[in-house]
Structure 1
Amino acid sequence: MSYNSVPIDTSHLPYCFTRLPVRIHKDKEEIQRFTLELIHATKKEDSKAHKHALYRYAFGPDMNIYSLSWPEADLDKMKLLIDFIELTWAHDDVAEEEPLEIAVAESERLCRAMYEEYDEEPVGDNGYGLRIKRFRDIRNKMKAIDAVGWVEVRDATEEWFHIDKKLKDFESLEEYLNIRKVHVGNKIMTSFIRWTMGIHLSEAELAFIEPYNDCIGVWLGLMNDYMSWKRERTQPTDRVVNSVHVVMNKYNLPEEAALDMVRGILVRQEGKVLEMSEELHGRTGLSTGMRMYIQNLEYYAGGLFYWHFLAPRYTKPQSFDPERAD
């Protein structure tokens, strides 16, 4: 059942080739207001980070990534989620432009901020030190609301913080996607579905749903890579994390041919997601929490596609050929 969201009609978008459902939170205006207020309060006005964050929300409440990705979230929990993710994105944006060794070291320190036993570690008054202090405060608030759910969020975030250590020149697309499904943040974002909705699954249930979660993670990595390639290829970095880059190198393909290939793989991967969804919906004996989670995994995936498809940071450099939209 859907209580906090309304559907979005994508039929007027002929090139929107996803078949996943797209919904948006009914409190999208309040979520947008809070997001912008947080950005203004935590980022120096007219700084690169401030402008970058504002650009992400330039198209208003109907294109707010939080309202689209977690459309059934409790509103108060959603606000903590936004605070948490904006902070991790700020870290990620900075880390992407740092040499790998420095990025890994800074991720280690930020990761420790999720554990109380490291609270006595001294931190500076610079931007990085302030992020650590803020992260500790968010941790305490999230843990106070749902300690069990917080542990799942913390563990998923820690794995993500450490994933840069596994980046390398991959021998195959399969090897790359096995890392990319974590690197893209899928485990963090799906743990937030459970945390914001108060869904507590048993260890057996989490193990049961993991293949479906991973299937969506692979799809999300491919989708993000496809949508963001023409933006990311010009960014200053010592590591390119994109399946288009992997395909170009492995098969010695020109850029447009590699894009076509990745798009085809993406469409086939979505087919796998939908097949698994149908099979799961047909199962008997699943708990109410599990059924809610499965449904909201679909909303999360559909919402992220919709956002990537229309977001200004991706649509400006990315073209969509109608002949590729089937």
Structure 2
Amino acid sequence: MAPFASQIIDTTSVPTYFSSFPVKNSQLEALQTIEDALRVTIQSCTVPGTRERKKAEYRHTNPAGHLFGLCFSTAEKDRLKYVVQFIEFLCIVDDVMEDLPFGEACIEHAILRQALYKKYDGDQYAGLAAGGMKTFLREMRIDLLGQDDPNNKALLKTLDISLHNRDSVDIEFKSLERYIPYRKTNFDYDFVCQLIRWSSTIPLQLAEQEEKIARKYENSIGIIVGLSNDYFSWEMERKQPTDRIRNAVAVLMKEYNLPDKQARSMLKGIIVDEEEKARRLRTDIDANETLSNDLKNYVVALELFAAGYSFWCATSPRYHRPQTEEDLAN
């Protein structure tokens, strides 16, 4: 099944968007699929009136474009709903866990992971925060493993590893070099890459040499999206009541003894430089006639993901008009 039709977005009217990657949006045709999948996920994983429900609903108020239409325009029509459900689930998990002390967050992640194993189906313990998220994830596992696609099992295995590793390091990073691998892990980036492949019917594992090239390109895109999120979310995150701030701006402030505005400007330059590396690598890939269409299609999908995500971050009310404690309390 083909993807929904998508359109190129004119980004020139959005001064906060500094990427040179082209942005596409499939929202016009895909909106009903996106909204239906979102409704099921948010209603299943959050309770009405809670902070988590309010954060989830506010996340999708961006008038410049929908997160999923912008980021996943290469997803097949029949797989887009799963992309929406998985990504929104992980966003809600992030919102819940970042409000917990580190030790409690680790325990709740472990409880969530039980939903990915049949042997725990009789265990109804939902932890202090996992709640409906555990039930929702269990139902997704049953749905996907009931289909005749061996890639579904591999996708869920990658998700399990991601839930195990995310937010599992309780240290203050002293350099951006040491922080970046953690940032990609906490972004669930390995799972996102697998999800992009799976939803676009690209093999989860390419031939050995092509896989090496794909991983190199993935690395650059992972740096771009992880640091772009940090760049745009800094004003929101610096004010959050938490025992750990995980943001590259804070890392650069400490590493170079900089005020936050200078650190944020420095981070922007790092993102632009990494984007140039990715662009050069894509040019080489496109010019190589011996490389498969699967690899080339994957590179396109990753670039569109990075572009769409950066554009969404650059225009999202979530980051530019953050919810206040009063908003979340009322």
- The two structures share one fold, judged by TM-score above 0.5: yes
Q: Deviation at 1:142?
A: 2.4
Match of 2:176 in 1: 173
Contact 2:34 2:81 in 1 (8 A): no
Match of 2:29 in 1: 27
Query: After the TM superposition, which residues 1-326 of structure 1 pair with which residues of structure 2 at under 5 Å, given as runs?
Result: 4-25=5-26, 26-38=28-40, 41-42=43-44, 43-59=46-62, 63-124=65-126, 128-145=130-147, 147-161=149-163, 162-200=165-203, 201-202=205-206, 204=208, 205-316=210-321
SS of residue matched to 1:63? coil
Structure 1 stretches (4+) deviating beyond 4 angstroms? 124-127
Distance in 1 (CA, whole Å) between partners of 2:191 and 2:292 is 22
Deviations 1:216-241 (A, max 9, x none): 11111111111101110011111111
Alpha-carbon spacing, 1:180–1:167, altered in 2? closer, same or farther (3 Å) = farther
Contact 2:4 2:77 in 1 (8 A): no
Contact 2:34 2:84 in 1 (8 A): no
Distance in 2 (CA, whole Å) between partners of 1:256 and 1:313 is 20
Q: Deviation at 1:256?
A: 1.0
Contact 1:244 1:262 in 2 (8 A): yes
Distance in 2 (CA, whole Å) between partners of 1:159 and 1:187 is 9
Q: Which amino acid aligns with 2:85?
A: D
Q: CA RMSD in A?
A: 2.3
Q: Deviation at 1:28?
A: 3.3
Which sits farther off after the overlay, 114-123 or 131-140?
Answer: 114-123
Alpha-carbon spacing, 1:8–1:180, altered in 2? closer, same or farther (3 Å) = same
Alpha-carbon spacing, 1:180–1:124, altered in 2? closer, same or farther (3 Å) = closer
* Alignment size in residue pairs: 316
SS of residue matched to 1:211? helix
Deviations 1:303-323 (A, max 9, x none): 001100101111236xxxxxx
Distance in 1 (CA, whole Å) between partners of 2:283 and 2:58 is 37
Distance in 2 (CA, whole Å) between partners of 1:236 and 1:147 is 43
SS of residue matched to 2:78? helix
Q: Deviation at 1:39?
A: 5.4
Q: Which amino acid aligns with 1:16?
A: Y
Deviations 1:256-314 (A, max 9, x none): 11111111111111111111111111122222222211111111111001100101111
Distance in 2 (CA, whole Å) between partners of 1:2 and 1:18 is 24
Q: Structure 2, unaligned stretches of length 5 or more?
A: 323-330
SS of residue matched to 1:190? helix
Percent identity among equivalent residues?
Answer: 29
Distance in 2 (CA, whole Å) between partners of 1:125 and 1:118 is 14
Alpha-carbon spacing, 1:291–1:184, altered in 2? closer, same or farther (3 Å) = same
Distance in 1 (CA, whole Å) between partners of 2:184 and 2:200 is 23
Q: Deviation at 1:3?
A: 6.3
Contact 1:149 1:194 in 2 (8 A): no
Normalising by structure 2, what TM-score?
0.87
Deviations 1:173-197 (A, max 9, x none): 1011122122222222221111112
Alpha-carbon spacing, 1:288–1:299, altered in 2? closer, same or farther (3 Å) = same
Q: Deviation at 1:203?
A: 5.8
Distance in 2 (CA, whole Å) between partners of 1:230 and 1:145 is 43
Distance in 1 (CA, whole Å) between partners of 2:291 and 2:171 is 40
